[in-house]
């Protein structure tokens, strides 16, 4: 009879790497862990990734569709799904290269663990422990509790490891508990400087055959039906992306002049190749000067998606920078600044990585409040000041909401599809549709536009980003949306508004970015017209074939903007829903959050005119008219039967049928049980990491 097994299941989540991995490192270095075998498992979770593409032979999906709570969008769109498939496949190859392996499964995490533990027991294989790395996402916490309870019932040890993919390790931060986190980033930053001295050492990659042996995969229970796991990367990509590809009624063609700023593959291998390239090409050294760019692969690091999935850790980035700064890695010796210590670029990268840490610490501090419409704030002293967000859902809209939910639904469709008529916003939204990426500069403008110019429930935007971003990360996404929407940790809150026209003049100086992603406006000569097509003369519009384009005939927002001190007044004034002419809407320049970076401030300057927070607007930016229908199809909970796109798109952008299956404001909340403390404000929102 063979010796009894004591198997360790290591559930990987957002730690998709083998180097600098505390769990694997412990298994290599500890002599007393007592496990006879290791079974690394990665689960594509049913609540965060749509699993219908894994179903074979007409089976029925036992899980609800993986859709968001407010807008009913897919939780994980095609870009991140592909990136994750590549990352997981790379992990599998890496584990195999050191004599181990990876089992890929789909389902709710605890369901998968149960099926493995029980199936192995039937084959007289004993699971002695289940380990995973902790994560602050509400859903991840729920998974941790469910797996822990399951282990209790099965007599297996459960262990949660510290998530070590951050810049400063949780055990070394300047605060004792999350509640002590300062509400202003600068205060926190000062408490942990100098940043270059803070990160812990990285952990080595396991050597070949140094891990406990992998369990004979023939005894591992197969994937529970009706799902089956593809045997190739291509199959995995197709299973994950197939069901979520058509997230718009008609996904537009990739514009001829545009190119992806994020053509990168997922995975630990690709992450390190990118890091090495950034140092060798001096991208890191020049980072401070280029990070506000909009076009191409080189304007910022593009390491965010790797960091989000844990393909690379922040401290690995820091240590690679150290080896370049200290001149200890000859592969970097050709790069300018080699051996010359920290420079402006490398210091700025560390600064950004600390922002990422801070957003996560905010998540630890504020927990479910990250997903609340009113944000981190606990109650407003003066009810008058409480922003009245506009909603596409009848039940959530205030009775006097103007425009009504139907019109907001229409505006949301155009915001998401990039046909608002505001060039910078439309370019960014279309870039994200096509590539899963858009720059930080563009993200700030997009979020500010939705929340502060349009006054629409910012969570629609956050969920849209969740679906489309290749680098979606629960803390970074939701905390940044709150920050820009004025309900998070921005000390200037509602007062900071980005003027997307001025921002376009400042950061898209020749209009290349907007022209590339919004090809309809390419023929317009003047930049002011490219950035807001409605400002062009009738002759210019006719020559460009734009006279009937909805971005011209019905822009969702018009911003008066002066070029060379000459006020630009549109032929069309804003018209309130009642039909009265509105006053020009004064904008305060959107200084970005880096204003509170002390010595590292950027040169953004306020135009010094007062902003108008959503609640206090006197001039409504929307045009009137009856509701034009609901969301992408069903209209969700907004009481409308949608006819999809009803605007005119003669600009040639949308050509396909006007139908889809889901509505903005769809009722997809409350699908999975939550820990009691998370059931907080009526219908809880559940979000992942």
Residue 588 or 642 with smaller CB distance to ligand FAD: 588
Q: How far is the CB of 485 from ligand FAD (least distance, A)?
A: 8
264 is a site residue for ligand FAD (CB under 6 A): no
Query: Helices (DSSP H) in 310-404: which residue ranges?
Result: 314-325, 344-366
Residue 132 or 307 with smaller CB distance to ligand FAD: 307
Q: How far is the CB of 517 from ligand FAD (least distance, A)?
A: 16
Tell me: is residue 301 an annotated ligand-binding position: yes
Q: H/E element holding 132?
A: strand 127-133
Tell me: is residue 241 an annotated ligand-binding position: no
Judged by DSSP in three states, 74 sits in strand
424 is a site residue for ligand FAD (CB under 6 A): no
Tell me: is residue 300 an annotated ligand-binding position: yes
Q: Using omega within 30 degrees of 0 as the cis cutoff, is the peptide bond preceding 407 cis?
A: no
Q: How far is the CB of 13 from ligand FAD (least distance, A)?
A: 16
Q: How far is the CB of 55 from ligand FAD (least distance, A)?
A: 29
Indicate which single residue of 37, 291, 453, 459 sits in contact with ligand FAD (rule: CB under 6 A).
291
432 is a site residue for ligand FAD (CB under 6 A): no
Rounded Cα distance between 9 and 220, Å, is 11
Number of chain residues interacting with ligand FAD (CB under 6 A):
29
Indicate which single residue of 5, 49, 440, 591 sits in contact with ligand FAD (rule: CB under 6 A).
440
* Residues whose CB is less than 8 angstroms from the CB of residue 556 and which lie 6 or more positions away in sequence, other chains included: 411, 414, 415, 420, 421, 422, 454, 621, 622
473 is a site residue for ligand FAD (CB under 6 A): yes
Tell me: is residue 508 an annotated ligand-binding position: no
549 is a site residue for ligand FAD (CB under 6 A): no
Give the binding range for ligand FAD (CB under 6 A) out of 52-60, 118-126, 297-305, 497-505. 297-305
Restricting to residues 348-377, name those near ligand FAD by CB under 6 A.
349, 352-353, 355-356, 359
465 is a site residue for ligand FAD (CB under 6 A): yes
Beta bridge partners of residue 422, listed in sequence order: 532
* Sequential DSSP letters for 106-131: EE-HHHHHHHHHHHHHHTT--EEEEE
Judged by DSSP in three states, 310 sits in coil
Kindly tell me the burial class for residue 194, based on how many C-beta atoms sit within 10 Å of its own C-beta (0-12, 13-18, 19 or more): exposed
Indicate which single residue of 21, 94, 138, 304 sits in contact with ligand FAD (rule: CB under 6 A).
304
Q: What is the DSSP letter of 42?
A: E
Please say whether the dihedral angle defined by the alpha carbons of residues 333, 338, 344 and 350, taken in this order, is positive or negative. positive
Rounded Cα distance between 546 and 195, Å, is 51
Rounded Cα distance between 310 and 32, Å, is 27
β-pairing verdict for 37-45 and 103-107 = parallel
Indicate which single residue of 35, 332, 338, 481 sits in contact with ligand FAD (rule: CB under 6 A).
481
Tell me: is residue 303 an annotated ligand-binding position: yes
Indicate which single residue of 471, 508, 520, 528 sits in contact with ligand FAD (rule: CB under 6 A).
471
Rounded Cα distance between 459 and 251, Å, is 22
Indicate which single residue of 240, 284, 294, 308 sits in contact with ligand FAD (rule: CB under 6 A).
308
150 is a site residue for ligand FAD (CB under 6 A): no
Q: What is the DSSP letter of 171?
A: G
301 is a site residue for ligand FAD (CB under 6 A): yes
Around Cβ 581, how many Cβ atoms within 10 Å? 9
Tell me: is residue 31 an annotated ligand-binding position: no
Q: What backbone torsions phi and psi does residue 39 show, to the nearest 5 degrees? A: -125, 95
529 is a site residue for ligand FAD (CB under 6 A): no
Judged by DSSP in three states, 471 sits in coil
Tell me: is residue 287 an annotated ligand-binding position: yes
Q: How far is the CB of 496 from ligand FAD (least distance, A)?
A: 12
Give the binding range for ligand FAD (CB under 6 A) out of 140-148, 298-306, 412-420, 597-605. 298-306
* Residue 347: C-alpha distances to residues 197, 334, 336 (Å): 12, 20, 15
To which residue do tokens 């080595």 refer? Answer: 204
Indicate which single residue of 6, 92, 302, 649 sits in contact with ligand FAD (rule: CB under 6 A).
302
Tell me: is residue 304 an annotated ligand-binding position: yes
408 is a site residue for ligand FAD (CB under 6 A): no
Tell me: is residue 302 an annotated ligand-binding position: yes
Rounded Cα distance between 172 and 198, Å, is 8
Asked whether the beta carbons of 425 and 449 are under 8 A apart, the reply is yes
Give the binding range for ligand FAD (CB under 6 A) out of 333-341, 368-376, 476-484, 660-668. 476-484
294 is a site residue for ligand FAD (CB under 6 A): no
480 is a site residue for ligand FAD (CB under 6 A): yes
Q: How far is the CB of 137 from ligand FAD (least distance, A)?
A: 12
Rounded Cα distance between 431 and 471, Å, is 14
163 is a site residue for ligand FAD (CB under 6 A): no
Three-state SS string over 584-644 comes to: CCCCCCCCCHHHHCHHHCCCCCCCCCCCCCHHHCCCCCCCCCCCCCCCCCCCHHHCCCCCC
Residue 346 or 440 with smaller CB distance to ligand FAD: 440
Q: How far is the CB of 603 from ligand FAD (least distance, A)?
A: 17
Q: Using omega within 30 degrees of 0 as the cis cutoff, is the peptide bond preceding 659 cis?
A: no
Annotated binding site: 287, 300-304, 471-473
Annotated binding site for FAD: 287, 300-304, 471-473
Query: Which parts of this chain interact with ligand FAD (CB under 6 A)?
Result: 291, 300-304, 307-308, 349, 352-353, 355-356, 359, 439-440, 443-444, 447, 465, 469, 471-473, 476-477, 480-481, 484
């Amino acid at each position: 009879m063979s010796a009894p097994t004591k198997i360790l299941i290591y559930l990987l989540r957002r730690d998709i790497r083998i180097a600098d991995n505390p769990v694997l490192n412990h298994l290599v270095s500890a002599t007393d862990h007592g496990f006879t075998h290791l079974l690394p498992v990665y689960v594509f979770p049913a609540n965060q990734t749509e699993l219908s593409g894994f179903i074979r032979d007409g089976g029925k999906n036992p899980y609800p569709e993986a859709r968001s709570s407010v807008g009913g969008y897919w939780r994980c769109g095609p870009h991140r799904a592909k990136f994750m498939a590549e990352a997981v496949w790379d992990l599998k190859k890496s584990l195999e290269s050191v004599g181990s392996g990876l089992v890929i499964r789909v389902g709710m995490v605890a369901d998968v663990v149960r099926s493995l533990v029980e199936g192995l027991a039937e084959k007289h294989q004993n699971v002695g422990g289940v380990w995973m790395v902790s994560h602050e996402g509400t859903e991840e916490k729920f998974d941790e509790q469910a797996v822990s309870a399951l282990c209790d019932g099965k007599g297996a040890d459960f262990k949660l490891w510290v998530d070590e993919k951050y810049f400063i390790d949780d055990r070394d931060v300047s605060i004792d508990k999350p509640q002590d986190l300062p509400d202003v980033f600068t205060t926190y930053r000062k408490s942990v400087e100098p940043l270059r001295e803070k990160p812990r050492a990285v952990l080595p990659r396991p050597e070949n055959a140094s891990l406990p042996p992998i369990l004979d995969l023939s005894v591992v229970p197969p994937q529970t039906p009706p799902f089956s796991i593809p045997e190739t990367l291509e199959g995995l990509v197709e299973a994950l992306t197939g069901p979520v590809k058509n997230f718009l009624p008609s996904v537009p063609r990739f514009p001829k002049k545009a190119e992806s700023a994020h053509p990168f593959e997922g995975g630990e291998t690709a992450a390190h190749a990118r890091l090495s390239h950034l140092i060798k090409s001096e991208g890191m050294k020049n980072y401070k000067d280029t990070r506000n760019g909009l076009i191409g692969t080189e304007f910022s690091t593009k390491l965010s998606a790797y960091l989000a999935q844990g393909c690379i850790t922040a401290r690995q980035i820091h240590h690679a920078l150290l080896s370049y700064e200290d001149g200890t890695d000859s592969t970097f010796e050709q790069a300018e600044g080699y051996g010359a210590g920290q420079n402006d670029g490398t210091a700025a990268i560390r600064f950004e990585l600390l922002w990422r840490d801070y957003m996560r610490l905010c998540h630890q501090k504020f927990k479910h409040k990250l997903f609340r419409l009113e944000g981190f704030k606990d109650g407003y002293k003066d009810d008058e000041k409480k922003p009245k967000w506009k909603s596409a859902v009848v039940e959530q809209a205030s009775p006097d909401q103007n425009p009504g939910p139907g019109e907001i639904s229409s505006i949301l469709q155009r915001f998401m599809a990039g046909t608002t008529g505001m060039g910078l916003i439309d370019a960014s939204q279309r870039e994200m549709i096509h590539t899963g990426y858009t720059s930080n500069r563009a993200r700030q403008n997009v979020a500010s536009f939705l929340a502060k110019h349009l006054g629409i429930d910012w969570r629609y935007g956050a969920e849209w980003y969740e679906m489309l971003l290749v680098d979606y990360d629960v803390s970074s996404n939701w905390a940044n949306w709150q920050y820009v929407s004025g309900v998070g940790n921005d000390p200037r809150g509602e007062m900071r508004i980005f003027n997307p026209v001025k921002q376009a003049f400042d950061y898209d100086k020749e209009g290349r970015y907007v022209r590339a992603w919004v090809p309809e406006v390419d023929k317009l000569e003047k930049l002011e017209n490219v950035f807001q097509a409605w400002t062009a003369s009738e002759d210019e519009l006719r020559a460009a074939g734009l006279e009937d384009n909805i971005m011209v005939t019905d822009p969702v927002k018009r911003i008066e903007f002066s070029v060379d001190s000459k006020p630009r007044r549109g032929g069309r004034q804003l018209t309130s829903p009642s039909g009265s002419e509105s006053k020009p809407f004064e904008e305060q320049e959107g200084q970005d959050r880096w204003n509170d970076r002390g010595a590292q401030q950027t040169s953004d300057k306020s135009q010094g005119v007062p902003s108008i927070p959503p609640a206090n607007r006197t001039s409504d930016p929307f045009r009137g008219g009856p509701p034009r229908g609901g969301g992408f199809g069903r209209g969700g909970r907004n009481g409308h039967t949608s006819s999809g796109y009803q605007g005119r798109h003669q600009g040639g952008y949308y050509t396909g049928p006007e139908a889809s299956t889901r509505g903005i404001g769809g009722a997809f909340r409350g699908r999975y049980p939550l820990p009691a403390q998370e059931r907080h404000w009526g219908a809880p929102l559940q979000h992942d990491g």
